[in-house]
Every structure is written in structure tokens, then in C-alpha cells.
Structure 1
């Protein structure tokens, strides 16, 4: 996954725990319990990241997940409606998330894991559909993958050597 490096020290980040799983390993002496926390962080202004934390206690797993998420922040290209700039399909593993641009007043139409990512990224108007796997972890990673690959009209125009008006037409 291509990630843009963002300096997290200057951002006001909020975090949201998407899921906590209890993992049990059966060993000779009994069972070993550990916890895995999937955490999404964002500043509500075009920066979002997710991370996985694993520990023997839930608070430690959440803290580790938050640290991992702040290290993996991506920048999201937003338009004037606080929506994405174009439709895109994000993929991770067997999970695919369709991200559709929406007009003002639509709101966030998304399932649980994708909704968390969109809210923390600062997107106000979007429609999403989870295709393929419904595994929460893979859906979150697919959503972030799709958001990180979005391009602004200016970037597309520069890449093609045209003006923004020619690209939008």
C-alpha cells in the first residue's frame, strides 16, 4: 500500500476503535489469551490512518494500534463538497470497497468499518459499498487504500499535460 508520509505531531488526531478481537493460543499449560485492536485515527481534514495493536491487555492493544495508525497516515483528496474527487475501488486482500462521489447533502452512506474511516478523514458526502470480503480489518485497509490513491483534477491535468478545464470536460 502506497502511503504518503505525514507529520502527525502537528495534527489534532482523534481515534476510534473499530474492533477488538480476543485471540486464544492453546499451549501445553493451558490457554494464552491476547487481544488485537483495530484503530483508525484522523484529523477530520483529509488525513486518516489505521493500525493494528496486539497485547495481553485491551488498553495496551488500543495504545499500540493508535501508535501504528499515526505512523501510517495518508492524505485524502477532497473536493469543495467535502466529498472525494472521483469514484474509485479500493482493494486489500479479497475485500473491495467502492467509493462514490456524492453531492452536498448526501451524508455518509457506508457500513461500519468504512464509515469510521470516512468520518475521521473529514469526508461529509460519500456513498460506499463493500464488495467481496466483509472482514472488518480488510475493509478498513481497502477503504484507506482507495482514499490514498485518489487524485485531484490538478494532479490529473499535470500528468496528462492538459488544463484543468480540458480534464473536467
Structure 2
């Protein structure tokens, strides 16, 4: 996604390092975002790829309107935040595409989401915070249980209810003193 230099002032002078943000995904509902800081660009890229693969999350996809074909959009409105950046992803009808910034389009492509509206505020020019906020929003798709995932619950009686007849017939009489 992005490689940029960062500097730290030491007593001997400036120390330069490189930060690399890497995005991985299978375009079928899985995405990972990783970051690594290293003295060399190659080390930062390798570490970023490893970090992104370790941070893989599932992305739940849904429908807008009728349930024809494959899931193509978000199942509900989701929100993510990192730093000052807020990102809101809103379901969109089929064929509308990804409405958002190039970073958001790339992330939705890697996640396998083809139609989504987005709303963002804050300092969205900070690519790292914007990518992390979008990643948090995608992570939130599995944070909410929709009615189609509800399973029927079978209630069982507690032991006190189940054995009330036996418990009410006591062989010994209790005396109060």
C-alpha cells in the first residue's frame, strides 16, 4: 500500500528507517493488513507481508435487495476508526461499484466486495490511519449477528423444575426447632 521514510533524531544525528504497509487478500472474503518498520526497504516489505498474513480476518458479505447471485456488498452499515479517521461502509445495489478513495477501492477489491458506498471524515490523507480504519470497519462485519445467522434455541428445564415431584416428596419430615 505505502512505503515511507521516518526519522528519529539522536545525539549522533538523524536515524532513517522505512515503514511499509502491506495488504493481502484472496478476493473471496479474507483480507489482512500489516505494517513493519525496518532500516532497509526490503526488510520492511518482507516483515509487512508476514504481519499482514498473520492479521488475516474474514469479511462477511451480503446482498442489497434480493438474494440473487453471489453476495456482493456489505451485510449492514459498519464503522471503523483509527486516529482521527472515521470510515463508514454502507451497502450498495449491484452494479454501483465501490464509491470511495483509491485506497478504499483497493481494499474492497482484495476483500471481494464489489459494491459499497463509503463515508469518511478526519485526516483521510494519512494513508496508514485510513487503511486501518477501513480494516476495522471490515472486521466489524462479523461483530453483529443478523437474523439470518440466528439458530433456534432449545430450552431445557433446570434440575429443580425437572425433579420437583421427587423433591416435594420427602421421606423424612423436617422439624423446626
| Interval containing the TM-score (normalised by the shorter chain) | 0.7 to 0.9
Alignment of 1:89-108 (within 5 A): 89-108=79-98
Q: Determine the C-alpha separation between the residues in 2 that align with 1:27 and 1:73.
A: 36
**Partner residue of 1:88?**
78
**Could you say which structure has the larger radius of gyration?**
2
- The offset of 1:143, in angstroms, is 0.8
Q: TM-score, normalised to structure 1's length?
A: 0.76
**Partner residue of 1:33?**
16
Q: Determine the C-alpha separation between the residues in 1 that align with 2:151 and 2:118.
A: 28
Q: Determine the C-alpha separation between the residues in 1 that align with 2:28 and 2:71.
A: 13
* Contact preservation (8 Å) 1:81, 1:104: no
Q: TM-score, normalised to structure 2's length?
A: 0.73
Please list every run of 5 or more consecutive structure 2 residues that lacks an aligned counterpart in the other structure: 63-69, 154-177
- The offset of 1:98, in angstroms, is 1.3
* Contact preservation (8 Å) 1:81, 1:125: no
- The offset of 1:81, in angstroms, is 4.1
**Partner residue of 2:146?**
156
Q: Quick check: 140-149 or 27-36, which moved more?
A: 27-36
2:33 aligned with 1:42: no
Please list every run of 5 or more consecutive structure 1 residues that lacks an aligned counterpart in the other structure: 1-17, 163-169
* Contact preservation (8 Å) 1:20, 1:35: yes
* Contact preservation (8 Å) 2:79, 2:140: no
The number of equivalent residue pairs is 144
2:123 aligned with 1:140: no
